[in-house]
Amino acid sequence: MLTSLSRPVLTTLVAVALAVGACGSTDPTSSSGVRARSATGLPATDLPAAEPPVDLAIVDADRLDPDLLAAVQAAARDARADGITVQVTSGWRSREHQQRLYDEAVTRYGSEEEARRYVATPDASAHVTGDAVDIGPTDAADWMGRHGSAHGLCQTFANEMWHFELATTPGGECPEQLPDGSSRP
């Protein structure tokens, strides 16, 4: 009676042991196979993630001085690290666009002399030559005024906290600000 009962039990135990053994020998093989594929498919060490470029979406960026553009992009990356989003609200302008802005200023301020304190003529504007950018919003302009010189960017006019030009060497000292646009020699 006992032997007839234990025989199927032993058979079951052997079957289970074989199944476990089969699984046990299969898993390490397949997982080591995965590791081997990973090791050959990926670089041995992960490269640090490249600093993603800041998309400034500058209109007519190719008409800006390339050095100015590079400086603004580098500064925008620094600003982003400080939690500040830099926008270029105005970069290169055509002579026609600048003339329109100037004419509007003459109307608003009542005289060419007064208008030139705020808007340059096409002949005088650094925007027309691609050598100036206007930075916004206010917190970004403020940031640029304090940190832009690390990339050579300087606020040009005391009455325009948003207007920046490449005016010093990276890390250099910015020239003294002119009171306004009409005081530019």
DSSP assignment, residue 48? P
* Using rule CB under 5 A, residue 93 touches Zn ion: no
Strand 163-166 to 87-90 pairing: unpaired
String of contacts with Zn ion for each residue 125-144, x by CB under 5 A: -------x-x----------
Comparison of 58 and 132: residue with beta carbon closer to Zn ion: 132
Residue from 93, 116, 151, 163 binding Zn ion (CB under 5 A) = 163
Cβ proximity to Zn ion: between 134 and 180 the closer is 134
Rounded distance between C-alpha atoms, residue 178 and residue 128, angstroms: 19
Structure tokens at 136: 């916004």
Residue 79 or residue 88: which is nearer to Zn ion going by CB? 88
Q: Can you list the alpha helix ranges (DSSP code H) found in the chain? A: 2-41, 66-81, 95-109, 112-115, 138-147
Q: What's the closest the beta carbon of residue 163 comes to Zn ion, in angstroms?
A: 3
User: What are the beta bridge partners of residue 87?
Assistant: 136
Distance in Å, CB of 148 to Zn ion, minimum: 14
Residue with nearest beta carbon to Zn ion: 163
Give 154's strand partners. Answer: 165
Q: How many residues touch Zn ion (CB under 5 A)? A: 3
Under rule CB under 5 A, residue 116 binds Zn ion: no
CB 164 within 8 A of CB 95: no
For Zn ion, the closer of residues 149 and 155 by Cβ is: 155
SS3 state at 154: strand
Q: Which residues bind Zn ion (CB under 5 A)?
A: 132, 134, 163
